[in-house]
Structure 1
Amino acid sequence: MKKHFSVSVQSILLKLSVFVVLLNSCSSTENSTTDPVPSKTPESIVIFTINDPHGKIENFAKVKAIIDEEKEKESQVFFVAGGDLFSGNPIVDFHPEKGFPIIDLMGKAGMDVSALGNHEFDYGQDILNARMQQATFPFLCANVNNSAGELNVPKGQVNIEKDGFEIAFIGVVETSSPGNIPSTHPKRIKGLDFFEGVEAVEQYRDSAAVKNADLVVALTHYGSRGDEMILRNHDFVDLVIGGHNHDIYNRKVAGRYMVQSGSNLKKMTKLSLEVLEGEIVNYNYELIDLEERTEEDAEMAQLIAEYNNQPEFFVEIGTSMQDHDSRETGCFYTDALRTITGADLVFQNYGGIRAGLDYGPITPFDIYTIDPFGNGLDTFSMTVAELKNFLMDPEAPSLAYSGVRIARTNGNITIYDSEENVMSDNEVLVIGMNDYISNVHADNFASPVKTFEKTTAEYLIEYLQEYQSVIDYEDCNNSI
């Protein structure tokens, strides 16, 4: 019994030792396969955005102060623009190097990249080439080709990296004018071919640079409808930062966001994002009202003051008896040019009236702000029937006018002479307009009767100096 008992104990002890070894082995194996993998931490980035400043430079000292303060706290700070940098401030538009002041200030404020807007073409292709070459940041436009023009076509896409975080930016411009071109003077984009921005974005879907980026941003001057189309059609785009229609919004479409920040550098958007493996996992939007900010970068403020030191723009040439909205300003505008041309009828497109005429002294600065484009002035001879055909065109712009009366009733156009008699279709009128309208609608306006030497803005100044210096168009609305 003893011996049997001993053997049994030894057997049991042997089995126990094997069990312990196996247990330890399993435990070791389990630990090796379940050691916690260090969890990835989202990257925190900040993107500041502006769009459609139109030459307004006063708030750039505030912009620089805000961005510099953020860069002291965060290493991954991006500053981008949605285009239309030019046309709207005589200090910028009539600088010896047209457009340079805002290019200079944007660079000094830390601009990383800008979309190419339609008004970047307003000075012509050669001047745009010079400004793009001077800029310390790239311009983007993926939907333009140079077939016979002078433009040094910018890249359509660029990657920008900050402290190891890389954003792929894709830029497009709007093509809303007749002929599928941007809204600028057709003569200034001669030889360039444009195609739809939503189609242009698609060509980057399989781009290695885009696929390898941490975030993909469409930086557009395409308008809110175009930006929405991009998000609905291109799931590889994480965010759209836009411009063109001067809107303010933070809108979610197809699970991703599109933003726009107004115009004239009155506001700036700040996006604070957390991004993990190419996905935005935390999104914070802030609209910064620059008009309410007081802190400025001193050196930038001094530079802006130097640019603004142009006394010839601030000589009083007339008096406005009230604040005029765009329609009242259109009445002044067309009356003045009808006096200059002696035409039976003068048109001005509302899109070419960029500001109202405010109460108080009128200066050349005010006139060039209202009419910044340097358009020429022509007169044409056409029958009433030809005029009706133009006004009934679905692509005809919204117009202010002065002269014979025009009425639109139930979709029909009636034109009355100065004595309120209905004019027959074969009667002939002399019609004056800026050469932007006649070039966009060249099928309606072939050969001018007369081409005037000065720009429309220069003739408005001449009118105030030589014909009528006190302006009051309260409640005037001559629109068609």
Structure 2
Amino acid sequence: MMKKSLKSLVNLLNLMLLLFVLGACSSTDKTNNTDDAPTAESIVIFTVNDLHGKIDNFGKVKAILDEERKKESQVFFVAGGDLFSGNPIVDFHPEKGFPIIDLMNRTGIDVSALGNHEFDYGQEILNARMQQASFPFLSANVKNINGELNLPEGRVTIEKDGFEIAFIGVVETSSPGNIPSTHPKRIQGLDFEEGVNSVAKYRDDEEVQNADLVIALTHYGSHGDEMILQNHDFVDLVIGGHNHDIYNRKVNGRYMVQSGSNLRYMTKLSLEVLEGEIVEYEYELVNLDEKTEEDAEIMEIVAEYNNKPEFYEEIGTSLRDHNSAQTGCFYTDALRTITGADIVFQNYGGIRAGLDFGKITPFDIYTIDPFGNGLDTFSMSVKELKEFLEAPDAPSMAYSGLKMTRDNGRVRIYDPEGRELNDEYELVIGLNDYISNVHSDDFTSPLKTFEKTTAEYLIEYLKAYQSVIDYEDCNNSI
């Protein structure tokens, strides 16, 4: 009996030893089995930003995307905002902004940040354009208090062939009052938070945590994008817009990119992503003006949108290429003629192009001044005007009329004979209603509100007063 028990114990020990060896071998085999090791995913992201209504290169964009989609299943196409304002074909379409959303739908864009100029047509039209879009607009830092805006999502997750990217969107708030750079009347009832703070609330978001990659898709400018990378380590990449720059910059070990403006360039990012980390990163800046292959169907649609002969009527002649300052001289001289004001101002941020050599058309004027701003005059004392011009948040402006100088930050204003005006002297000031609304504490009750837009008055000036324009040596800036 004792012998049988001993034999059984030996057999049991041998069995246990065998199982241990088999387990060890199985473990070793699993470790060496490369088929079970995680492999990197190859993805491609195309980015554009600040299109400002420019549509002529969409045929090239579509051709490039279609070619890449033949080779890769995980191709993303995204935009950093400011799709509107800058092309009369888009801005003055019967349904404002319709053509560019139509073309973006047709190219298969996945998502766009909401830019400050998306508000330029007003909230009701923006709602219509967002409804037209087959892609989402994103902005995590806008709140609707009592406005008309159908609020966009703050983040969205987009999946391609099993690979998920969580996109978080924010818009800049650089204007006085912590609002985006658009006409204050068009964002009434909305409230805006600083973008970097809005990104923070997605740190513990379940969809963001489960995504293979987290991208801040912003219209925030380079400084804001840097703040995101400095403060939020869960963001893997920032694709930005707003300041019309071109860069591929590394901050805290992660990248931020921007692709210029006006659809001249597109960025291509080729990434290898392993377990939520970008292990290989390749950047290419695509110059669309140098590309020749175009999608024929898209180009037919672009040509149809561009077929607006009324925009190309000759209404004047420019004797040279005018830079921004020289164009500002033309602009303010024209509006001073229209208003009869002592001084007319125009913010340089509202001069979106130079006046080029050759014939001048309504298309040119609406390109220079695309925003549909109104025109007002105000009565101000010299002292009140100085206080506005010397304030830290005063915009950089062109002006026409009485001579002004600035010395160590102090402004002096002179009459036509060159005598300095005293502080009590009353002036009539002309300017667009964007400036007066942004700086409403300085400009309260207009003397006169004009019926037409500033661009329409520039066209009227060329037709009725002065059709040959030459400002070779002019630079009236304050």
Q: Runs (4+) of structure 1 moved beyond 3 Å? A: 17-27
- Matching residue's letter, 1:322: R
| Alpha-carbon distance between aligned partners in 2 of 1:119 and 1:29, rounded to the nearest angstrom | 65
Give the structure 1 partner of residue 22 of structure 2. Answer: 28
Separation (CA, whole Å) in 2 of partners of 1:33 and 1:109: 50
Structure-2 residue corresponding to 1:462? 460
1:224-278 Cα deviation digits (max 9, x unpaired): 0000000110000000000000000000001100000000000000000010111
Whether 1:159 and 2:153 are equivalent positions in the alignment is no
The alignment partner of 1:270 has SS state of: strand
Counting only pairs closer than 5 Å after superposition, residues 381-396 of structure 1 correspond to structure 2 as 381-396=379-394
**Which of these two proteins has the greater Rg computed from alpha carbons?**
1
Amino acid of the structure 2 residue aligned with 1:151? L
- Residue-by-residue CA offset, 1:193-223 (whole Å, 9 max, x unaligned): 0010000001111000101110000000000
Matches within 5 A, 1:401-440: 401-440=399-438
Output the amino acid matched with 1:362: I
Number of the residue aligned with 1:340:
338
Instruction: Note the 1:110-121 alignment, pairs <5 A.
Output: 110-121=108-119
Residue identity over aligned pairs, in percent, reads 76
Residue 56 of structure 2: SS of its match in structure 1?
A: coil
Distance in 2 (CA, whole Å) between partners of 1:452 and 1:308 is: 30
Supply the distance in 2 between the matched residues of 1:26 and 1:141 (Cα, whole angstroms).
58
* Deviation by residue 1:3-50 (Cα, 9 ceiling, x = unmatched): xxxxxxxxxxxxxx9999998666433211211242111000000000
Alignment of 1:193-342 (within 5 A): 193-342=191-340
- The question of 1:133 aligning with 2:142 is answered no
CA distance in 2, matches of 1:269, 1:51: 10
Counterpart residue number, 1:66: 64
Distance 1:370 1:379 in 2: 22
Aligned to 1:474: 472
1:410 and 1:165 map into 2 onto residues whose CA distance is 57
Q: How far 1:378 moved relative to its partner?
A: 0.2
| Secondary structure of the corresponding residue to residue 135 of structure 2 | coil
Give the whole-Å Cα distance in 2 for the aligned partners of 1:156 and 1:107. Answer: 21
SS at match of 2:359: strand
1:47 aligns with 2:45: yes
Q: Which amino acid aligns with 2:152?
A: P
Structure 1 residues 235 and 476 mapped into 2: Cα distance closer, same or farther (>3 Å)? same
Greater Cα offset, 403-412 or 119-128? 403-412
Instruction: Establish whether residue 367 from structure 1 lines up as the match of residue 368 from structure 2.
Output: no
C-alpha distance in 2 between matches for 1:370 and 1:21: 88
2-structure distance, mates of 1:240, 1:454: 41
Task: Structure 1: state its 5+ residue gaps.
Answer: 1-16
Show the counterpart of 2:440: 442
Question: What is the number of equivalent residue pairs in this alignment?
Answer: 464
Partners in 2 of 1:171 and 1:326 — Cα distance?
A: 32
Q: Which amino acid aligns with 2:423?
A: D
Once residues 459 and 23 of structure 2 are traced to their aligned partners in structure 1, the CA distance between those partners, rounded to angstroms, is 88
1:475 CA displacement: 2.2
* Alignment partner of 1:100 is 2:106: no
CA distance in 2, matches of 1:314, 1:458: 15
Cα-to-partner distance string for 1:148-190 (whole Å, 9 max, x where unaligned): 1000010000000001001000000000000000000000000
Tell me how far apart the structure 2 counterparts of residues 221 and 211 of structure 1 sit (CA, whole Å): 23
**Which of 83-92 and 30-39 deviates more?**
30-39
CA distance in 2, matches of 1:380, 1:150: 30
SS in 2 for 1:45: strand
- 1:19/1:195 CA distance change after superposition, 3 Å: closer
CA distance in 1, matches of 2:16, 2:188: 83
Provide the secondary structure at the position in 1 that maps to 2:459.
Answer: helix
CA distance in structure 1 between the partners assigned to 2:263 and 2:287 by the alignment: 9
- For 1:271, the aligned partner's letter is L
TM-score (norm 2): 0.95
Task: Kindly state the Cα deviation for residue 315 of structure 1 after the two structures are TM-superposed.
Answer: 0.3
Aligned Cα root-mean-square deviation (Å):
1.4
SS at match of 2:269: strand
Cα deviations across residues 66-122 of structure 1 (Å, max 9, x unaligned)? 000000000000000000000000000000000000000011011000000000000
CA distance in 2, matches of 1:261, 1:41: 30
The letter for the 1-side match of 2:112 is: S
